[in-house]
Amino acid sequence: MDVIFIRGLKCETILGVYDWERVSMRPVLLDLEIAAASSESFEHDSAKGLMNYDSISARLTELLKTLHYKTVERLAEHVAQTVLSEFHAPWVKVTVGKPAAIKNAAMVGVVIERGVR
């Protein structure tokens, strides 16, 4: 399986269980590993069959601005389903991190995998 990745995609969203977390946009960091639907771009050095990093990043950045979830788990699921359905990826691994969400930790979050590996 050929996999592309996007690391440290900073997005703004409303996310949190507590009322004070849901008052304004806060940063989340996304790491994505996405199975390529085709190996053609790997074999022929062309854009044919290419998973477009920029399109994926732009779509998720805009999407997260509109989402209002309480849990990182639900946010991760939404991101995964978006990549699978809109970009026709057969498999995706999504890491959602909340920077500085708890004292003495740089980040907390979840990692999920969806699709067929």
Chain segment 82-115, per-residue pLDDT in tens:
999 999 999 999 999 999 889 999 999 999 999 9
Q: How many helices (H) does the chain have, and how many strands (E)?
A: 3, 5
- Answer yes or no: pTM beyond 0.85: yes
Structural domain that includes position 74: 3-115
Residue 64: give its domain's CATH number: 3.30.1130.10
Q: 46: pLDDT confidence band, cut at 50, 70 and 90?
A: low
Tokens (6 digits) for 79: 């991101």
In contact, 20 and 34? CB cutoff 8 Å: no
Give the model's pLDDT for residue 48: 63
Mean pLDDT, range 14-39, rounded to an integer? 91
The domain tally of the chain equals: 1
DSSP string covering 84-98, please?
HHHS--SEEEEEEEE
Give the model's pLDDT for residue 47: 67
